[in-house]
A = this chain, B = another copy of it.
Amino acid sequence: MSDQQTALSSWNEGPTKQSIVNFVRGATTSGGPQWVRPEERIAVFDNDGTLWTEQPMYVQLAFIIDRVKALAHQHPEWKDKQPFKALLDGDLETVFAGGQRALVELVMTTHAGTTTEEFSIIVQDWIASAIHPKFNRPYTELIFKPMLDLLAFLRANGFKTFIVSGGGVEFMRAWAEKVYGIPPEQVIGSSIVTKFDMRGEAPVLTRLPEVEFVDDNDGKPVGINKHIGRRPIAAFGNSDGDLQMLQWTVAGTGSRFALLVHHTDSEREYAYERSPLGKLDKALGEAEAKGWTVVDMKRDWKCVYPFEATNSALFSKS
C-alpha cells in the first residue's frame, strides 16, 4: 500500500477509517488473498451528497433557477406558465408538486438549444459566480475534504476514480476536473440527446430537448456498464438512488467495498435522511444487513470542507 495513508488526514481514527484502509491494503498487497490487478481497481462515486453538499437543493437545480431567470426576458409567456411561473416566484414546492414532468421541462429549457461547447462555458461562468445560501461561498468550495482525501488515497494506490451521478453529465464535466481531479471521460451522468451538425464549415454538436439517459437507481449499474464496461470493486454513495450501484459492485467476486455517507452533522453541514428528490432508507438497511461501511459525518470527519482544514492548519501553526 502506498504511504499516502497519511492522506486520509481529515478522517478521525476509528472503524470507518480502518475499514477503508483495510480494503485498500488488501487490494494492493501483491500475493495476498485480496489482491486486485491495478486495471480492475475501479472506484465509483455518487456526486450530490457524497462528494459535495446537496442541501438545501441540488446545485444543478440552483443553476436551473438562475438560467430560467436569465432567460425570462426572452420568454414573457413564462409569467403565466407552470412550472416557470412558480420557479420565478421562488415557489419550489409548486415546482416539485409538478413531479418529474415539470423538472424535465425545466432541464430541457435550460440545458438544450446550445452546442456542447457553449453549454460548458455557460456552466463554467455560472459556477464561478454562484454562491451557496447558507455558507456564502462558491459551491465548488463546498466539497467534502475527507472525500478529496479518499480520492487521492485511492489514486495513489492505483485506483481509477469515476463519478456516477444522477446529475447532468455535461453539467458536471464542466468543473469536475478542476474541483475533484476527475477528467471528463471519468464522469458518468444523466444526458440529453446531442446531434452532429455543420455550422458552415464547422462541425458542432447541438444539444436537443430530449432525454437520452437517466443515470439514477437502476440506471447507475447500466451507466457503469455502458461507460466503464467492467464492474467496479468499490462504490460510494449517500442515498437510495445509489443502492443498485452498491449492490452491483459488491456482487462481483474477490475484494469489494461499499460505503454510504450519512449526513449527521447539522452544525458543520446538514443532518438528514431525505433530500429534495431522494432519501436514505433502504440503502441504510441493506448496509446494516450486509456490513457495508457507513460514515457518520459528525463522528468520522475531522472537518467537512477544505476551508476548515486550512483554518485548522493555520491554528496548529501557532
Task: Give me the interface of A with B, judged by CB distance under 8 Å.
Answer: 39, 42, 116, 160, 169-170, 173, 177, 183-187, 191, 194-196, 202-203, 205, 218-219, 221-222, 225-230, 244, 247-248, 251
20 contacts across the A-B interface (CB closer than 8 A) = A42-B185, A160-B185, A170-B229, A173-B230, A184-B228, A184-B230, A185-B185, A185-B227, A185-B228, A185-B230, A187-B229, A194-B222, A194-B226, A196-B244, A196-B248, A202-B251, A203-B221, A203-B248, A203-B251, A205-B222
A229 to B227, CA, bound (A): 12
The closest CB in chain B to the CB of A249 belongs to B203
Please give, as numbers and ranges, the residues of chain B lying within 8 Å of A222 by CB-CB distance: 194-196, 205
**Cβ-defined partner of A203 (8 Å) among B186, B203, B247:** B247
Which residue on chain B has the smallest CB distance to residue A177? B39
Taken together as a complex, chains A and B put the C-alpha atoms of A169 and B244 apart, in Å, by: 23
Copy number of this protein in the oligomer? 2
Q: Is the CB of A196 within 8 A of B184?
A: no
C-alpha gap A165/B180 in the complex (Å): 30
A187–B229 Cα distance when bound, in Å, is 8
Contact call A169/B205, Cβ cutoff below 8 A:
no
User: What's the minimum C-beta distance from A159 to chain B, rounded to whole angstroms?
Assistant: 13
Max chain B Cβ within 10 angstroms of own Cβ: one of A173, A177, A219, A221: A221
CA gap between A169 and B191 in the complex, in Å: 19
Q: Nearest 5 pairs between A and B by C-beta?
A: A184-B229, A196-B218, A173-B229, A185-B228, A203-B247
Task: Taking A185-B229, A205-B222 as given, write out 16 further A-B residue pairs in contact, using a Cβ cutoff of 8 Å, ordered by the A residue number.
Answer: A39-B177, A39-B183, A42-B185, A116-B225, A184-B228, A184-B229, A185-B228, A185-B230, A187-B229, A191-B226, A195-B222, A196-B218, A196-B248, A203-B221, A205-B221, A205-B248
Q: Are B202 and A225 in contact (CB under 8 A)?
A: no
Nearest B-chain residue to A193, judged by Cβ: B222
Evaluate contact between A169 and B229: CB separation under 8 angstroms. Answer: yes
- Distance in Å from the Cβ of A42 to the closest Cβ of chain B? 8
A189 nearest CB neighbor, chain B only: B229
Given contacts A39-B177, A184-B229, A251-B203, is CB(A221)–CB(B196) below 8 Å? yes
Q: Which of A169, A185, A227 has the most CB of B within 10 A?
A: A185
Distance in Å from the Cβ of A168 to the closest Cβ of chain B? 12
Considering the complex, give the chain B residue whose CB is closest to the CB of A246: B203
Question: Would B183 and A205 count as touching, CB distance under 8 A?
Answer: no
- Taking CB atoms, residues of chain B closer than 8 Å to A184 are 228-230
Interface centre among A195, A221, A226, A228 (most CB of B within 10 A): A226
Residues in B with CB closer than 8 Å to A42 are: 185
In contact, B227 and A205 (Cβ under 8 angstroms): no
Q: Which residues of B contact A230 (CB under 8 A)?
A: 173, 184-185
Bound-state CA distance A160–B186 (Å) is 13
